[in-house]
Amino acid sequence: MSPKRVDKEVRKKEILHAAMHAMARKGVNVIKIDQIAAAAGIGKGTIYEYFSSKEEIFGAAMAQFLEKIENIQAKKLFRATTPQEKIKAIIDSWVEATNTMAHDDLKLLIDLWAEGIRQSNPELKKIFDMKKIYYEYREIVSAIIRDGINAGVFRDVEVEVVSGIFLASVDGLMIQWLLDKESVDIRKTANTLYDTFMQGIALQRESGNL
């Protein structure tokens, strides 16, 4: 691989980085190629040396964004061993994301959902398929919960359903935080989410009052 090649790769990453920021801040449908170019500190035409269309940039930015998020989660999950720790790790991934990434950057999630929901561009499905991603997310959490049930830590809940609910809480909290940073005390919320969810699926001595 020649140094030129490396340079090209590096430059492409730089553009992608700038594009992701810009898209996240203004919204994918609103951002203009000029703005991405300006944000990347390059000429408008140069972008087309690295990407063939705005759509492709969008796809690449989304993929990169997802990768970032998944990296955070993978890192956290990697260290966790017990089901409880793993649940905690997923919640902490959310905390970490809000710490590591800029508030603006995380707004890209909305566009990711929008794209997944409307699938306006079938091409993008090849790069990232939100339906599939969520299916896999639920599988991961399901495995964790199943482990907990088998270990006698969690009660015998509908695993797939509970997994969806758990992931839903995190997504929903992200929305509230994106809508209003100040309205969500991340640390406190993370702890409470962990506590209530754990208690929610905990084995019960006596069947309660519900």
Q: Does 26 bind DNA (CB under 7 A)?
A: no
Number of residues that bind its own copies (CB under 8 A): 61
CB contact at 8 A, 129 and 122:
no
- List the one residue out of 62, 11, 59 whose CA is nearest residue 37: 11
Alpha carbon 193 to chain centroid distance? 18
Q: Does 122 bind DNA (CB under 7 A)?
A: no
Rg (Cα) of the chain, in Å, rounded? 20
Question: Could you count the other beta carbons within 10 Å of the beta carbon of residue 177?
Answer: 20
CB contact at 8 A, 18 and 36:
yes
Of 40, 89, 107, 124, which one interacts with its own copies (CB under 8 A)?
A: 107
Of 49, 123, 171, 185, which one interacts with DNA (CB under 7 A)?
A: 49
- The site partner of 100 among DNA, its own copies, none (C-beta below 5 to 8 Å per kind) is none
Q: Does 13 bind DNA (CB under 7 A)?
A: no
Owner of token pair 């408008």? 44
CB contact at 8 A, 48 and 15:
no
Q: Which of 74/203 has CB closer to its own copies? A: 203
| The one segment of 52-60, 93-101, 102-110, 192-200 that binds DNA by CB under 7 A | 52-60
CB contact at 8 A, 112 and 66:
yes
Q: In terms of C-beta density within 10 A (0-12 exposed, 13-18 middle, 19 or more buried), how is residue 180 classed? A: exposed
Q: Does 162 bind its own copies (CB under 8 A)?
A: yes
Q: How far apart are CA 49 and CA 54, in angstroms?
A: 12
Site string for its own copies, 34-73 (x = CB under 8 A): ----------------------------------------
Residues that bind its own copies (CB under 8 A): 25-27, 29-30, 84, 107, 110-111, 113-114, 116-118, 120, 130-131, 134-135, 138, 153, 157-158, 161-162, 164-165, 167-173, 175-176, 178-180, 183-185, 188-189, 192-193, 195-206, 208-210
Residues that bind DNA (CB under 7 A): 4, 7-8, 11, 31-34, 42-46, 48-50, 52-55
